[in-house]
Homo-oligomer: A and B are copies of this chain.
């Protein structure tokens, strides 16, 4: 199948590669020449504008995969394609768009009979090799038409043991992709996936924090342990209830650098964690853990919140406590 790929960052480039390896034909575009030329050497057709790309796509309906950062650039690209494509053509947004934007775009493009498919794509730097896990929103017809693309990108059955009782269920899920529902449903499911990801990560983070601070001088001496975190992460990978891919990554990081000294502890967050909380609030679902995981990242990026100063100010007001920043050596939980 022929497909146009717009946006050749690591994700877009690797998606192109995985598709070509499966025998698909890729027309690619990026504002930067380097990734365009790299992929051209591997068999893709490089183009230098959206218009040129659209012209280069001979198969009808045309299929275009937009793989750009969520937000303005994706918005403008989808809008631009809207002016260039013909009825029946399909735009896939494979990035991390907000699902409400998908709902709106699908509605707008439907007026021109252009089909819009949103595809939440998980896999990160490992996708080229492991395959991408995809959650897709759009009409049945469009999603079915694109099946060869999704099948090629997905991990496939692989060696992961089958879930008992799945006989007779949609076989696509086992191969690593699903048609989640109408426009927006794909990105919605991916959004919640990322929300869960934050929660899982924070659960491990707190657990390792408790392990590491178990040697704190503030504890009674015979309840103080110096624990080997790399070994603990490793053993939990082996038959324990909390084994997971995120734990595999933690084990790999800890064995390399047990103090994680190369990391500052400043943690970014992306839109999806935030939108997950907004969705929870819209649905009145209590989402304590997912919210706390997001807030821990917010907090990690500040020296002190203004709120903390308010606390100090009140304490001063009622108790006369003056709280100075203690010298580093005396900080609780601080390693010598």
Q: State which residues 228-252 of A face B: CB under 8 Å.
A: 228, 230-232, 234-252
List the number of copies, as a whole number.
Answer: 4
Given A231-B178, A311-B300: A283 in contact with B320 (beta carbons within 8 A) = no
Evaluate contact between A155 and B307: CB separation under 8 angstroms: no
Given A100-B223, A295-B287, A320-B125: A166 in contact with B255 (beta carbons within 8 A) = yes
Quote the shortest CB–CB distance from A20 to chain B (angstroms). Answer: 19
Partner of A169, one of B231, B246, B276, B334: B231
Evaluate contact between B222 and A207: CB separation under 8 angstroms: no
Evaluate contact between A206 and B317: CB separation under 8 angstroms: no
Evaluate contact between B155 and A222: CB separation under 8 angstroms: no
Interface size on A, residues (CB 8 A): 164
Q: Count chain B CB atoms within 10 A of each CB in A175, A219, A222, A308 and give the residue with the most.
A: A308
Quote the shortest CB–CB distance from A251 to chain B (angstroms). Answer: 5
Evaluate contact between A235 and B176: CB separation under 8 angstroms: yes
In the assembled complex, the Cα of A300 lies from the Cα of B278 at a distance in Å of 19
Evaluate contact between A235 and B178: CB separation under 8 angstroms: yes
Residues of B within 8 A of A293 (CB): 203, 289
Given A176-B235, A301-B326, A324-B264: A256 in contact with B165 (beta carbons within 8 A) = yes
Residues of B within 8 A of A265 (CB): 303-306, 308-309, 311-312
Nearest B residue to A136, CB-CB: B235
Q: State which residues 149-173 of A face B: CB under 8 Å.
A: 154-155, 158, 160-161, 163-166, 169-170, 172-173
Given A135-B235, A300-B311, 7 other A-B contacts at CB below 8 A?
Answer: A123-B239, A158-B238, A180-B227, A213-B283, A249-B317, A250-B317, A296-B308
